[in-house]
Structures are given as C-alpha cells and as structure tokens.
Amino acid sequence: FRLASWDGQEQVSAWHDIPLASSSPGCFNLLTEIPRYTLPKMEVATKEAFNPISQDVKKGKLRNYHGPLFWNYGCLPQTWEDPNVKNEEVDCMGDNDPLDVVEIGSETLEMGSISEVKPLGVFSMIDDGELDWKMIAIRTADPLASQLNSVEDVEKLLPGTISGIREWFRWYKTPDGKPINAFGHKEECLPADKALEVISETHEFWKNLRNGRTDPGKLWIGAN
C-alpha cells in the first residue's frame, strides 16, 4: 500500500513539496499519517521516490501498534531531525525523520490530509538513543482551538491528555520486548515557544538536506 501525493497530474512529495507554514501566523501544515483510533504504523517513506505514505515494515512484517493511538498523528513537511547533529540538551542525535506531531483535536483526520495546526508544546522523547521530538498541536478548525494556546490550557481543558501522550509513547514498544522510551527535560512537556524553536531548527536541517549541505544518505530528496 502506498498513498501518493499529487498536484493535478504531477506527482509531488508530501515531505518536500508541501509548505511548512500555513497561511495563518504561527501555524503550520500537518500531514496526517495515522488517523486516531487506528493500528497500522503508517509513515512517510523517506527513502522512496516522492515519499508516499506507507506501512512501516520490521523484519519483513507489516508493523501495527498493539493498541490504537487516541490522537491523530503525523508530521510537519519540510522538517528533518538531523542524525548528524547532537542536541546538547539531551545529548542525542536526531532520528533521521520529519518532525512528529500529535494532534489532540476532536475530529479524526484522514490519512494523507493536510490540516492547519497550532503548536501547543513538545516532548523530547529518546527512542533507542535518538532524539525523537513529539510536538503537541491542535487543528485550528477544532472547536477548542481558540481556547488552547499552551500546555497549561491543555491541562485545564483536556486533563490527562499530556500525561496520556507521554505514557503512550513511553510504553508502546514494550509488547515487542523492547525497553520503554525515555524523555529528556525532566519528562516535561515543553511550552509552545520551545515547540516553535524545534520547528525552526528542524526546518533549517531540512533546508541543509535539500540544498546538498548535508549528506542525504539513502533519503529521497528529489530534484533541487
């Protein structure tokens, strides 16, 4: 299964060709990979031509979560966590993928859809020794979007969401016999300002990748 992106008759890369920033100040385009309440581990195929969304494969088998995500999950286009750069705050390199987003709104978003989201916070998850940022966001069209502008707002209006996200991502690999994931920054969900810093940094990493200043390795980065 491959879900490709098209602009009319022309195939495009959802990772490289969709703009990061949306039309609203401080908001960004979310590419949904995994609609909430679903099991298949879908992701942008960073090493395939035009980077379609496909189901992750481990040891020759299609990968599924052992329990559903309770939120929409995807990534920000035109971002990249550089595996060659160490983050001094957590002493880890990037995970070689676009910036992950957990969207906490009330609507199930369609796989491959593009939604305008507002950053609310970010977790610094450590997965197998790599930094794997998890940004928390709300779709701007969500009924609660105008009331949610910070981690504190989420705690007040949607209690249990922040801790639920952290614990879901802490434990989700353990049924496969893998250790729990760790978190930097005292396991705190960092504020929206930090999320914006992470977006800016990972966008710069992506630009270096696309412009040839960073070795892409096996990643498909298209034509410059």
Q: Which residue has the tokens 């909430």?
A: 36
Residue 81 · residue 202 · CB < 8 Å: yes
In 3D space, the residue among 14, 201, 45 whose CA is nearest the CA of residue 122 turns out to be: 201
Q: Which residues contact 163 (CB under 8 A, 6 or more apart)?
A: none
Q: How many CB atoms lie within 10 A of CB 151?
A: 21
**Cβ neighbourhood burial of 24 (10 Å; 0-12, 13-18, 19+):** exposed
Q: Which residues are catalytically annotated? A: 65
The terminus-to-terminus CA distance of the chain in angstroms comes to 27
**Cβ neighbourhood burial of 97 (10 Å; 0-12, 13-18, 19+):** buried
